[in-house]
Structure formats: C-alpha cells, structure tokens
Structure 1
C-alpha cells in the first residue's frame, strides 16, 4: 500500500470526497462508505473507540444511519496536505421526530493507494452530536 502524496491534487481529493458523500454517506449507504477504506482501515467517530477493518466500520456506520431519517453534507472547505484530506462541512440531520438539526463537522482522512485506487487508511470525524 502506498500513500497518495504524489498526484493527490485538490481536484482529485474533492472529487473523491463528493462521490463518497453524495453517493454513499448522504444516501445512508454504510457498505459504500466502508468500501472507501483500506482492508485494515481505521475510523474514530467523535470520542468513540476506533473501529478497525471494513466490516466493523460498515456495521457501526449502519447503526449510526438508523438513528436518523436522513442526512446531508454541505461542504465548506476541502484542504489537502500530502496524503491528508481535511473536509469541513455543515451536516443537516432529519431526526425521527421530524426535527432538522444542523451541526458543523470536520473529517480528516489519511489516504493510501490500494490497487491503484485512493482509499482511506485512517479517518477521524469530529462532530458534536448532542443536539
């Protein structure tokens, strides 16, 4: 597995992120989200313990998606530094009680290349889910 430091441009990173969020996360497709990770990918959501491996990531994110009717990400800024991808966004959740809640979120991906395809090897999601 190689890092993406060479050739990982802002345009490429933005396209990768938009595809992941538009066609995976905002569709509440946990399998699609987990597929964006390397086989031994690592995810920490807030203050929860890290999840390691695609199967564990998929199961936990599927449970998270069940806690709401829908969600949508409105990107604010995308930054690339070497093989790190920083995504700032406003996330709007439609809760099961019909209330819509928007919160600010920051996601940091450490990227790697797996069989010629960009994949996340690590991911930290920073968001306050209290509302």
Structure 2
C-alpha cells in the first residue's frame, strides 16, 4: 500500500461515515480499537464505529510516518478529536492494517490513549 493509499484510508475514516469505511474492508475483516474486544465483520465494525462516533463531534488524522511491508501498513498519526463540547484534543496514534491481494483490508488495529479526549 502506498502513502497515497494510507492517506485515502484516513480520509475515509475522517469522513465520519462508518458505511464508507467498511467498504474498504473484507466482509470478514477484524478490527481492534485499543484494548477493546475485537469486532469481526463489516456490520459489527460499522456499528462499533457508529457507537464511538456518537461520543465525539469529529476527528482528523495527520500522517506523521508510514511503513509498508508487503500487505502490512503501519501508520503513525496525530489525531485531532473534536469533543462534543467543541474543544479539540490531539493525541498520537498508531494504526496497523493488513491489505489482501484484492485490495481489501482484512485486519485493522488502532493503538491510542483516548483518556485526554474524555478528560473533564
């Protein structure tokens, strides 16, 4: 996956539309967000994203650096979360995903500390 493709993935994530994001995924894709239980399948992932997105007003990724090895991508990002109170909070995150030969993502993992996003 090229840097352009990584940018495309984050543009879709930042669109705040789970239905668009899951179109990047294989039907049986697995997604793990932090230390939460894995979500398996497009429907479960879309529902998990809708639940998460209901707790924030928006988000935007800035890619710091990406690494690609075969079908695996590692992306270090700075993510700006817009809280429901309108305040912006920036945190560092690492996303790792595997893209199959058909171009669909089969495994997507996000490593981030969201405590600052929800701090009062």
Q: Same fold (TM over 0.5)?
A: yes
TM-score (norm 2): 0.91
Superposition map of 1:15-34 within 5 A: 15-22=4-11, 24-34=12-22
Superposition map of 1:2-13 within 5 A: 12-13=1-2
Whole-angstrom distance in 2 between the partners of 1:37 and 1:13 = 17
Superposition map of 1:72-83 within 5 A: 72-83=60-71
Q: Unpaired runs of 5+ in structure 1?
A: 1-11
Task: Note the C-alpha offset of 1:83.
Answer: 1.3
- Which of 70, 77, 80 is the equivalent residue of 1:89? 77
2:115 paired residue number: 130
Find runs of 4+ consecutive structure 1 residues off by over 2 angstroms.
Answer: none
Task: Note the C-alpha offset of 1:42.
Answer: 0.3
Task: Note the C-alpha offset of 1:79.
Answer: 0.5
Whole-angstrom distance in 1 between the partners of 2:2 and 2:48 = 25
Q: Unpaired runs of 5+ in structure 2?
A: none
TM-score (norm 1): 0.84
Task: Note the C-alpha offset of 1:20.
Answer: 2.0
2:104 paired residue number: 119
